[in-house]
Amino acid sequence: MKVLVIGSGGREHAICHFLARSRRLRELFILPGNAGTAALGTNIPGDPCDVGFALSIARREKIDLTVVGPEEPLAAGIVDAFKQAGLPIFGPTAQAARLESDKVFAKQLMRQQAVPTAEARVFDDYELARRYIATRDEALVVKAAGLARGKGAIVCAEPADAILAAEKLLVKRALGEAGARIIVEERLNGREASVLALVHGHSALLLEPAQDYKRLRDNDEGPNTGGMGSFCPTPAVDEDLLRQIETQILVPTLDGLAREGIEYCGVLYIGLMLTAGGPKVLEFNCRFGDPETQAILPRLRCDLLDLLEAATVGGLEEVEFSWDPRYALCVVMASAGYPESYRTGVPIRGLPEDPGRDDLFIFHAGTRLVDGQTVTGGGRVLGVTALGPTLAEARSRTYAAVEQIRFEGAYYRRDLGLVEQLTGPQAA
Ligand code: AMP
Ligand code: GLY
Question: Can you tell me which atom of ligand 1 is nearest the CA of 150?
Answer: 2
Ligand 1 center from residue 372 Cα (angstroms): 40
Question: Can you tell me which atom of ligand 1 is nearest the CA of 189?
Answer: 21
Reference 409, options 369, 378, 386, 365; nearest CA is 378
Q: Is the bond preceding residue 233 a cis peptide, omega within 30 degrees?
A: yes
Distance in angstroms (rounded) separating the CA atoms of residues 363 and 374: 13
Query: Residue 425: pLDDT above 60?
Result: no
Ligand 1 center from residue 189 Cα (angstroms): 10
pLDDT in tens, 320-363: 999 999 999 999 999 999 999 999 999 999 998 766 678 999 99
pLDDT in tens, 28-46: 999 999 999 999 999 999 9
Q: What is the DSSP string of 55-70?
A: HHHHHHTT-SEEEE-S
Instruction: Answer yes or no: is the C-beta of 152 below 6 A from any ligand 1 atom.
Output: yes
Ligand 1 center from residue 215 Cα (angstroms): 11
Distance in angstroms (rounded) separating the CA atoms of residues 6 and 13: 10
Distance in angstroms (rounded) separating the CA atoms of residues 23 and 41: 15
185 SS3 class: strand
Q: Tell me the best of 15, 103, 192, 212 to mutate to test the pocket of ligand 2, counting ligand atoms within 8 Å of each CB and taking the most.
A: 212
Query: Residue 421: pLDDT above 70?
Result: no
Ligand 2 center from residue 127 Cα (angstroms): 32
Q: Which residues of 268-281 are buried (b: 16+ CB within 10 A; e: fewer)?
A: bbbbbbbeeebbbb
Mean of pLDDT values over 125-130 = 98
Q: What is the 3-state secondary structure (H, E, C) of 113-145?
A: CCCCECCEEEECCHHHHHHHHHCCCCCEEEEEC
Ligand 2 center from residue 208 Cα (angstroms): 16
Q: What single-letter DSSP state applies at residue 208? A: P
Smallest CA separation from ligand 1 atom 5, residue: 153
Compute the 3-state secondary structure of the chain and give helix, strand, coil in percent, each to the nearest 5. Answer: 30, 30, 40
Ligand 2 center from residue 134 Cα (angstroms): 31
Ligand that lies nearest to the alpha carbon of residue 139, given by its number in the listed order? 1
**Residues sharing a CB contact under 8 Å with residue 110, sequence separation 6 or more, in sequence order:** 116, 117, 253, 256, 281
pLDDT in tens, 197-212: 999 999 999 999 999 9
Give the predicted TM-score (pTM) of the model: 0.96
Instruction: Answer yes or no: is the C-beta of 292 below 6 A from any ligand 2 atom.
Output: yes
For residue 265, the model assigns a pLDDT of: 98
For residue 215, the model assigns a pLDDT of: 93
- As a whole number, the mean pLDDT across the chain is 95
Distance in angstroms (rounded) separating the CA atoms of residues 121 and 17: 42
Q: Residue 281 in contact with residue 96, Cβ under 8 Å? A: no
Ligand 1 center from residue 117 Cα (angstroms): 11
- Alpha helix (H) residue ranges in 246-341: 251-259, 292-296, 304-313
Query: Residue 318: pLDDT above 60?
Result: yes
Instruction: Answer yes or no: is the C-beta of 256 below 6 A from any ligand 2 atom.
Output: no
Distance in angstroms (rounded) separating the CA atoms of residues 193 and 191: 7
Smallest CA separation from ligand 2 atom 4, residue: 289
Instruction: Answer yes or no: is the C-beta of 274 below 6 A from any ligand 1 atom.
Output: no
Distance in angstroms (rounded) separating the CA atoms of residues 196 and 155: 24
Q: Residue 382 in contact with residue 404, Cβ under 8 Å? A: no
pLDDT in tens, 366-384: 999 999 999 999 999 999 9
Reference 280, options 187, 196, 158; nearest CA is 187
For residue 371, the model assigns a pLDDT of: 94
Smallest CA separation from ligand 1 atom 7, residue: 153
